[in-house]
Amino acid sequence: MDITWLGHSAIKLEGSKIVYIDPFLTGNPAASTTPDEITEADIVIVTHHHSDHLGDAFPICKKTGAILVSIHEVAVEAEAEGIPNEGMNIGGTIDVKGVKIHMVQALHSAEKGDPTGVVIEMDGKTIYHAGDTGLTYDMKLIAEFFKPELSFIPIGDRYTMGISSATKAVEFIQTKKVIPIHYNTFPIVSADPEEFKRRVGDMAEVIILRPGESYTL
């Protein structure tokens, strides 16, 4: 599976299916691509209804025919625009085109519905995208139930966990590999991923990507 960080919290997973998560590209000064450059997608996942996560999800789905997966209220909005969608809620699991998606809790806010994280099972790999969240003891359940091989964890502080909390989250999640996200998009969420890597130490392999860079899992 090829994993590409597109900047901010936007992720592209490419294996047997092409999955985008939180594709905030338009208006994102750190974005490594544009919606116009995206020609293929099977699934687009939105963790919560904030503009820097919903982003270009609807236009990408309309252009590619991808299925939007999100919490119920966002799915209802997509339905009104004729977008194929699968609404769900925290605690639920769905299978979309052979990709299993579990919706889990996040501590944050949202304009509609609730904030969420997602655990994705595809091609024998288990990946956790925390969305926007503060540190929560429920992350221990992610470790116990799902045992993610790789996790996307926000480190930018102010609106999400900062480096200290994110380091504790890695301990809770017991993930083998972690890619920091949601930092350095704007000055207000500046963070040093190398400091995060030092603090995580031997708990997990920290993979630092620049926007547009990929990692093969």
Contact 15, 28 (CB under 8 A): no
Instruction: Give me the mean pLDDT over the 23-45 stretch.
Output: 98
Domain around 56: 2-209
Give domain status of residue 22, yes or no: yes
Smallest CA-to-CA distance from 12 within 38, 36, 30 is with 38
Smallest CA-to-CA distance from 135 within 109, 92, 110, 168 is with 168
Q: Which pLDDT value is given to residue 3?
A: 98
Give domain status of residue 193, yes or no: yes
For 94-126, the pLDDT digits (tens) are: 999 999 999 999 999 999 999 999 999 999 999
Give domain status of residue 217, yes or no: no
Q: Which pLDDT value is given to residue 30?
A: 96
Residues 6+ apart with CB under 8 A from 157: 163, 189, 191
Instruction: Give me the mean pLDDT over the 51-79 stretch.
Output: 98
In whole angstroms, what is the distance from residue 38 CA to residue 154 CA? 24
Give domain status of residue 74, yes or no: yes
Q: Which pLDDT value is given to residue 19?
A: 99
Tell me the average pLDDT of the chain: 98
For 118-175, the pLDDT digits (tens) are: 999 999 999 999 999 999 999 999 999 999 999 999 999 999 999 999 999 999 999 9
Instruction: Count how many domains the chain has.
Output: 1
Instruction: Give me the mean pLDDT over the 16-44 stretch.
Output: 98
Q: Tell me the CATH number at 106.
A: 3.60.15.10
Give domain status of residue 214, yes or no: no
Instruction: Give me the mean pLDDT over the 23-50 stretch.
Output: 98
